[in-house]
Chain A
Amino acid sequence: MEYFLELFFGGLTRGSIYALIALGYTMVYGIIELINFAHGEIYMIGAFTGLIVAGLLTMLGFPGISILAIALVCAVIWAAAYGYTVEKVAYKPLRGAPRLSPLISAIGMSIFLQNYVMLSQTSDFLPFPELVPKFGFMKHFGSMLSSSELVIVVATVLVCVGLTLFIKYTRLGKAMRATAQNRKMAMLVGINVDMVISATFIIGSSLAAVGGVLIASHIGQINYYIGFIAGIKAFTAAVLGGIGSLPGAMLGGLVLGLTEAYATGYVSSDYEDVFAFCLLVLILIFRPAGIMGKDKIQKV
């Protein structure tokens, strides 16, 4: 039973990581039906920004928890700026183009950002400091759940709840839903669609940056390539949950993370990915729109 729980918490953490990144994919898809392949790279840039800021603050002698807070804020701002710019440069000019064009543009952006970071930073692995302090009360959980894992899970839940409320009740959230339902109609009733799309990219990128900093701090190392695999898995999670649906992204991430953890724990880690993708195939066969997706996908 203890082993089962240990695997559960490991899978929960991993699933939360996927979910945090998947939210960005699913939001963008909901609004403009584009799979933003550069999203993983925004996550990576968030982590790099966090590393640079944290290194600087540590040198200046800031206390532990404030480093985490400032690094998070800086990473969010910087990554949001990148997300905004990527949209303006690579997607907006292609707004009226066939659907395949922005997709190719997204892949190009992903490759560009990866190589840009590799050349401007380094291709080596870099150590990432542990920014999350060890909470005293977490001692009782021992090896089951560490402080940084707890922070990741809690942050993901908070982000997901906050985002759902935001979409439901704020003016901007309503504008987003309107844009998602029918862009032309939204324009006719006076919604600034370009602004709404930019806001979506900014929010998605911010979430990716939060994920980047927390996850890098949990794992302890980064390089320019981390966004690729995390992005692929998060995309899988988004599709699994029903792309375009926020709770779907959360659920998809958790299902994927737990499947991988239990596949490793009870079968073999050799087949971790095999089980994860078999699950994806099965769900897509029986529910083509994903777990939470409706036949007519409910966007954002």
Chain B
Amino acid sequence: MREIVKRILLAAALVAMLAPSALAGGKLLLGVAGAHSGDLASYGLPTVNAAKLVADKINAAGGVNGMTVEVVAEDDQCKPELATNAATKLLSDGVKIVLGHICSGATKAALPIYLDGEMVVMSPSATNPPLTQSGEYPNFFRTISSDDAQASLDVAYAKTLGLKKLAVIHDKGDYGKGFATFAKQFLDADPSMDVVLFEGVTPGAVDYSAVVQKIKSAGADGVVFGGYHPEASKIVMAMRKKGLDIPFISDDGVKDDTFIKVAGQYAEGVYASGPKDFSKNPLFIEAVAAHKAKFGTDPGAFFPEAYSAALALLNAVKVAGGTDYAKVCEALRTSFVDTPVGKIKFDAKGDAEGVGFSIYQVKGGKYVQVQ
């Protein structure tokens, strides 16, 4: 008899534990996973704040299809082994949409669990290119552009300029060489464009005339440069002085006013990609004001991206009429949503369209957006 009572109690306890997910009809759980403690907490906590602000805003307006949004935060400290724990916890809590993770490594570790559980995941900050481009995780989306987005944009722009033979030059540093390597990959993938030269220069060298002669003799009709402005200005000046008047396209290390100041007249016509400016977007201003009102400080890293991701996720649930996996994914890919980083939807691989970088050109001593 006592055994039976015990079993009934156990069963009751189990039912009680399952209750939150079973009874979630009135609630929409928004999982937020990322570094909420540890060394990288400053990258993760702004996302929790963003989720809370968006939940407050949507709940004040009547919730999503009548459901109130509730934020469930799980800490992964940006560690892959903790990220899988966080993902399992969210899965067992019955969460269907997750904002996170923050770091690329942790995101990659957690994604298989989410995929098995048919949960939609959106990161505000994981920039590792294969996360979306490999196509392995159709449940993964992000509101930040990937590490190779600049290279991809620059190469696409070189194509619209009609360039065919490009010299890819970099400064041998992590940032510059990374950019240049991505650019080379995109150029190699495009049969209409060739890489005629791929070289690193020594930062701070006395002059770059030999490299410029090499670019010239390689017959390049354009230069893609990965690195920072001191080398870029020296190379551009040497090119122009040697009468090599071909387009020079670079990254946001060069989209700096010091570049124009130093290179002066020689800077004219240089292209550089740089982050899109969304500081005048009314939704961004509103989100920052809400953060100040509630938390009393300026928002931290990736706050606009996280705020936008939360808006996009909740909007998709609203459009899909529920948390059905396929319908939410479909909604993310098809319906536009207004966010602090602009009006966005997601491409087939999960990258947000229209976020990230634009091409700028130096005109009259200033960087002017050309695309």
Residues in A lying within 8 Å of B, measured CB to CB: 3, 6-7, 10-11, 13-14, 17-18, 124-127, 142-143, 146, 215, 218-221, 223, 225-226, 228-230, 233, 260-261, 264-265, 268-270, 272-273
- CB < 8 Å: which of A142, A226, A265, A269 contacts B202? A269
> Is A143 in contact with B243, judged by CB distance below 8 angstroms?
yes
- Beta-carbon contacts of B226-250 to A below 8 Å, as 1s and 0s? 0001100110010001111000000
> Is A229 in contact with B206, judged by CB distance below 8 angstroms?
yes
CA distance A155 to B34 in the complex (A): 62
Number of residue pairs across A and B with beta carbons under 8 Å?
A: 95
- Beta-carbon contacts of B26-56 to A below 8 Å, as 1s and 0s? 0000000000000000000000000000000
> Is B237 in contact with A264, judged by CB distance below 8 angstroms?
no
Q: How large is the interface on B (under 10, 10 to 19, 20 to 34, 35 or more residues)?
A: 20 to 34
- CB < 8 Å: which of B172, B213, B230, B262 contacts A7? B213
- Segment 188-221 of B: residues with Cβ below 8 Å from A: 199-202, 204-207, 209-211, 213-214, 216-217
Whether B264 is near chain A, meaning CB under 8 Å from some CB there, is: yes
**CB within 8 Å for A218 and B207 given contacts A6-B213, A142-B243:** yes
> Is A220 in contact with B263, judged by CB distance below 8 angstroms?
yes
- CB < 8 Å: which of A142, A218, A229, A270 contacts B204? A229
Residues in B lying within 8 Å of A, measured CB to CB: 172, 199-202, 204-207, 209-211, 213-214, 216-217, 229-230, 233-234, 237, 241-244, 258, 261-264, 266
Minimum Cβ distance to chain B for residue A61 (Å): 19
CA distance A147 to B214 in the complex (A): 21
> Is B210 in contact with A265, judged by CB distance below 8 angstroms?
yes
Residues of A near B263 (CB, < 8 A) are 127, 220-221
CA distance A209 to B358 in the complex (A): 43
User: What are 17 A-to-B residue pairs whose CB atoms are below 8 Å?
Assistant: A6-B213, A6-B217, A10-B207, A11-B210, A17-B206, A18-B206, A125-B258, A143-B243, A219-B207, A223-B230, A226-B204, A230-B206, A264-B210, A265-B210, A269-B214, A270-B200, A272-B202
CA distance A219 to B242 in the complex (A): 12
> Is A269 in contact with B199, judged by CB distance below 8 angstroms?
yes
> Is A269 in contact with B201, judged by CB distance below 8 angstroms?
yes
Q: Lowest 8 CB-CB distances: which A-B pairs, in order?
A: A264-B210, A10-B209, A261-B210, A143-B242, A270-B200, A6-B213, A3-B217, A127-B262
CA distance A270 to B264 in the complex (A): 28
> Is B234 in contact with A260, judged by CB distance below 8 angstroms?
no
- CB < 8 Å: which of B199, B206, B207, B216 contacts A143? B216
Residues of A near B230 (CB, < 8 A) are 125, 221, 223
> Is A14 in contact with B207, judged by CB distance below 8 angstroms?
yes
- CB < 8 Å: which of B205, B209, B217 contacts A13? B209
> Is A125 in contact with B213, judged by CB distance below 8 angstroms?
no
> Is B237 in contact with A268, judged by CB distance below 8 angstroms?
no
Residues of B near A230 (CB, < 8 A) are 206
> Is B209 in contact with A220, judged by CB distance below 8 angstroms?
no
> Is A14 in contact with B209, judged by CB distance below 8 angstroms?
yes
Across the two chains, which residue of chain A brings its CB closest to B214?
A265
CA distance A142 to B258 in the complex (A): 30
**CB within 8 Å for A233 and B206 given contacts A125-B233, A143-B216:** yes
Residues of A near B258 (CB, < 8 A) are 124-125
**CB within 8 Å for A219 and B172 given contacts A268-B199, A269-B211:** no
Across the two chains, which residue of chain B brings its CB closest to A219?
B207
Residues of B near A13 (CB, < 8 A) are 207, 209
CA distance A125 to B232 in the complex (A): 12
CA distance A219 to B233 in the complex (A): 10
Across the two chains, which residue of chain A brings its CB closest to B170?
A270
CA distance A223 to B262 in the complex (A): 11
Residues of B near A142 (CB, < 8 A) are 243
- CB < 8 Å: which of B172, B214, B264 contacts A264? B214
**CB within 8 Å for A270 and B199 given contacts A125-B262, A143-B243:** yes
Minimum Cβ distance to chain B for residue A16 (Å): 11
> Is A273 in contact with B207, judged by CB distance below 8 angstroms?
no
> Is A220 in contact with B237, judged by CB distance below 8 angstroms?
yes
> Is B205 in contact with A272, judged by CB distance below 8 angstroms?
yes
- CB < 8 Å: which of A17, A221, A270 contacts B172? A270
> Is A225 in contact with B204, judged by CB distance below 8 angstroms?
yes
CA distance A225 to B203 in the complex (A): 12
Across the two chains, which residue of chain A brings its CB closest to B212?
A10
CA distance A221 to B259 in the complex (A): 11
Minimum Cβ distance to chain A for residue B223 (Å): 13
CA distance A265 to B212 in the complex (A): 9
Residues of A near B266 (CB, < 8 A) are 220
Residues of A near B201 (CB, < 8 A) are 269, 272
Minimum Cβ distance to chain A for residue B203 (Å): 9
Minimum Cβ distance to chain B for residue A141 (Å): 11
CA distance A146 to B242 in the complex (A): 8
Residues of A near B243 (CB, < 8 A) are 142-143
> Is A260 in contact with B210, judged by CB distance below 8 angstroms?
yes
Minimum Cβ distance to chain A for residue B365 (Å): 12
Across the two chains, which residue of chain B brings its CB closest to A5?
B213
> Is A10 in contact with B210, judged by CB distance below 8 angstroms?
yes
> Is A10 in contact with B204, judged by CB distance below 8 angstroms?
no
Interface centre among A218, A223, A228 (most CB of B within 10 A): A218
CA distance A215 to B234 in the complex (A): 12
> Is A126 in contact with B262, judged by CB distance below 8 angstroms?
yes
Residues of A near B205 (CB, < 8 A) are 229, 272
CA distance A272 to B266 in the complex (A): 26
Minimum Cβ distance to chain B for residue A128 (Å): 9
> Is A10 in contact with B200, judged by CB distance below 8 angstroms?
no
Residues of B near A219 (CB, < 8 A) are 206-207, 234, 237
CA distance A153 to B242 in the complex (A): 17
Across the two chains, which residue of chain A brings its CB closest to B169?
A269
CA distance A229 to B205 in the complex (A): 7
Minimum Cβ distance to chain A for residue B256 (Å): 10
- CB < 8 Å: which of B214, B217, B261 contacts A127? B261
Across the two chains, which residue of chain B brings its CB closest to A9?
B209
CA distance A127 to B265 in the complex (A): 11
Minimum Cβ distance to chain B for residue A252 (Å): 15
Minimum Cβ distance to chain B for residue A4 (Å): 10
Residues of B near A126 (CB, < 8 A) are 262
